[in-house]
Structure formats: C-alpha cells, structure tokens
Amino acid sequence: MKKVAFEQPVLKGEITVPGDKSISHRAIMLGSIAKGKTSISGFLDGEDCLRTIDIFRQLGVNIERNGTDVTVESPGMQDWHQPSDNLYAGNSGTTARLVLGILAASRITCVLTGDEYLSKRPMNRVSIPLKSMGASIAGEADSNLLPLTITGGALTPIDYEMPIASAQVKSAILFAGLTTGGQTTVSEETVSRDHTERMLEQFGADIQKDGNTVRVTGGRMLSGTDVRVPGDISSAAFFMAAAAMIKGSSVTFKDVGLNPTRTGILDVLKAMGAKIDILEQSDGLGEPYGTVNISHDGLHATEISGELIPKLIDELPVIALLATQAHGVTVIKDAAELRVKETDRITAVTTELKKLGAQIEETEDGMIIHGPTPLTGGTLASYGDHRIGMMAGIAALAASGPVVIEDPSCINISYPTFFNDLEKLAFPVK
C-alpha cells in the first residue's frame, strides 16, 4: 500500500524522466542479434527491461549493466547457446512478443513463460503470422497463451497486412524476417511506434520504409553499435498531464523522446488547452528527442480516436483522469486494444476513477468522461498494472483527500523513481 496525499499542490520545476522502455528493450534485443559490441546509454532499469536482459544472458550474450549504461557483447544470433532453463518474460508483453519473433528464426529450442498477468495476454497476434513463415510455436489455447514452446528454424518471408495497429506484432515479424532468404513486408493501416525500424537501420539491416509499409530483406549480418535512449514520453506523460491539470503548474521535461509515432499526448494536451513549448529538439542516434515545457492554461474536453490512438495508447489512463477535470464531455474511442494490456485498462480506469467520484462511463472501445468533477480520496487497486498505479498517484494531486494505492510495486515495471519525482515536482501552494 502507498498513501499519496497533497494539500493544494502545484507542479513546478524540471525533470529528466528515465529511459524509454520500448527503445531499451529493442537495444538489448538488437545488440544481442548483432555480432560485436553495442553500448547503450540512458537504458531504463525497470523490471520489464531487466527481464529482457535476463533472457539474452541465458542465450549466452554478455550483458554488463552499470546503472543506465549497458554494454552488450554478442557472438551474433547464429552462435547463441541453448538455454538450460525456461525463459521468463515477467510482466512484459514487449519482451514476450518480440522474443517470439526472434527465437522462431534462431537455432534455439526453449519454453517462454510470463507472470500471471502476461500469461492471460494474447500471443496469437504474433504466433499466427510467425507460423505462416514456418515457425514452430506450440502451447495452450492454440498457441495463444504462455507458456509457449518455440523450436527455432529456417523461416520463409511473408507479406503481412496487420489487422490491428501494433508495434509488437510489426517488430516480431520484422525480426523474424532478418534471417529469411528474401523480403518480408509488413503493412499497417495506422502507423504504430517505429522504434524497431529506426534501430534496424542503425544496426545495418537492409530495411526500407514506404508510407505505412516496411520491408526487410533477410540475410544481412547486423553489427553492434551505439544506442542513446531518450527519456520515455509515456513516463513523462503522467507529469505532463498533471502539469496541464493543476492550476499554476509549469514543468520542463529534458531529453524526452519526441518520436512522432509517440507524441499523441502532446496533441491531446494542446487540444485540451494546455500551453506547450518545445524548447529544444534534436535527432540523436536515430530517435528525435528534446526539451518541452508544459503549463496549465485552462482545460476543456476533447475527442480522441482513429489514427491518434496508437500514438498515445499507453497514455489513455492518465488522459482519462485529466478529462475528469476538463470542462465538457471527453470521448475516447477506437481504443479496444486497451482491453488486452497488462489488465483491461478500460474497466480498470472507469472502476477506479468512479471510486473517487468521477463521472466516467465504459464503452466497448473506450470511455466517456464528464467534467469537471471534484475528486475525493479513496483506496485504488493497481491491478498489477504500472500505468493504473501511476494514474492513481497523479489522481492524488486533484483529490480532496489521500489516495491509497494497493500493490504500488508494479510501478517499478516502467518507472522505478515515480514517487520520488512526484514529490520533487509537487509543492504545496503557499
């Protein structure tokens, strides 16, 4: 349990949030697939990324971590060892799904497992296209659920049209395509985060992007390189939303990732009335990042749907909270994917925010939120989901009484220093 209480807070100051989770995973994975040495700076030492490190160590890759600096030295995927135990992905959907794509194309036979939450999440979205490439993946519910047994082998390229916008599915197929003897094509209707494509290019893969289509030609040996991981905009989003929500607030985010496939939160905050200033922007080693200031400047409702959804999918819990304090009716739709995250985030968000007095309704693919509504204190469940736990922590800033978070340790999955940073930024109004 964690009790979070503030009396009339205002958020002020500057923050550098921890490294991007999606990019940290991919840096370990590509550093392990590639031959030679990869140096990563700004790595996220959250639980999910540590699970990815554990898995590749079990395959014989030498990975040394010194805080947020990580060195990966790999013989290349052709020379990985057979692991002596099951590979455990913990709570991490990204680890499980991307590793499935990688191992399907390797020389390894192994069993991939996860925690109680991950073991309920669908894996067919990757096993079906991988099987059509010739992958051998076996497990419960027609290989939809972990644990899964993967027998790596030679795969054939495919031309795949994605039925859902998912960077995890796209990445698993592109990784599997690396070892085939031809060109694998993945097309998506709405573009999902493109970190894999960017990093594949950095590691020397033969990859081309053409609108919403990505093509990778297999057979090229990847070489180790340097990766700089920017701050995670999905972590920053909690304090960005808080700064937009609380009158008098102004927070500057340094070195935060500004990849356009991830910046939907900035579009929404702007549409809701927040003041946003991009103070600096650069393109360091493949990923755009910069310094952004967000300040409160009134707050009104908006509609969030369509192509915007993949650009802010993980931010929707905190956006829903923000909408409880905005004038008007906020509608979130086309977000049914929220139901298959670490928990069903539509049910979790509506159930927990109602406990504080929010007027929020669940729909099949989103939420409808009426605001502004005064929030009270209360005891909120995290459902073992870091994003729900952090939403509860931010809710305490707007609530009239303390918010108690049950099972807050899940926040370590993506943001181990969340509560310290919250305390640093939130000041009582004098």
Catalytic residues: 314
Residue 309 Cβ vs ligand SPQ, minimum distance, rounded to whole Å: 9
Contact stretch for ligand SPQ (CB under 6 A) within 91-99, 183-191, 240-248, 422-430: 91-99
In this structure, is the dihedral angle defined by the CA atoms of residues 96, 199, 130 and 154, taken in order, positive or negative? negative
Angle, helices 316-323 vs 233-245, to 10°: value is 0
Query: Does position 314 bind ligand SPQ by CB under 6 A?
Result: yes
User: In this chain, which of 205, 414, 425, 426 binds ligand SPQ, going by CB under 6 A?
Assistant: 414
Residue 201 Cβ vs ligand SPQ, minimum distance, rounded to whole Å: 17
Nearer to ligand SPQ, 9 or 257 (CB): 257
User: In this chain, which of 24, 180, 192, 412 binds ligand SPQ, going by CB under 6 A?
Assistant: 192
Query: Does position 168 bind ligand SPQ by CB under 6 A?
Result: yes
Nearer to ligand SPQ, 206 or 337 (CB): 337
Bond before 122 cis per omega within 30 degrees? no
User: In this chain, which of 10, 167, 229, 246 binds ligand SPQ, going by CB under 6 A?
Assistant: 167
User: In this chain, which of 38, 94, 252, 382 binds ligand SPQ, going by CB under 6 A?
Assistant: 94
Q: Which residue is nearest to ligand SPQ (CB)?
A: 93
User: In this chain, which of 4, 11, 18, 22 binds ligand SPQ, going by CB under 6 A?
Assistant: 22
Tokens, residue 323: 């909408």
Query: Does position 200 bind ligand SPQ by CB under 6 A?
Result: no
Nearer to ligand SPQ, 45 or 297 (CB): 45
Closest residue by Cα to residue 101 from 50, 31, 29 = 29
Residue 121 Cβ vs ligand SPQ, minimum distance, rounded to whole Å: 8
Tokens, residue 243: 């700064």
DSSP labels for 363-410? ETTEEEEEE---B--EEEE-TT-HHHHHHHHHHHHHBSS-EEEESGGG
In this structure, are residues 360 and 93 in contact, taking their beta carbons and an 8 Å threshold?
no
* Distance of alpha carbon 44 from alpha carbon 69, whole angstroms: 9
* Distance of alpha carbon 373 from alpha carbon 354, whole angstroms: 11
Angle, helices 93-104 vs 21-33, to 10°: value is 20
| Angle at alpha carbon of residue 161, lines to 303 and 189, rounded to 5° | 25
Q: Tell me the site size for ligand SPQ, rule CB under 6 A.
A: 19
- List the interface residues with ligand SPQ, window 324-383 (CB under 6 A): 337, 341-342
Contact stretch for ligand SPQ (CB under 6 A) within 33-41, 87-95, 147-155, 181-189: 87-95
- Residue position matching structure tokens 């013989």: 75
Query: Which residue ranges make up the site for ligand SPQ (CB under 6 A)?
Result: 21-22, 48, 92-94, 166-168, 171, 192-193, 313-314, 337, 341-342, 387, 414
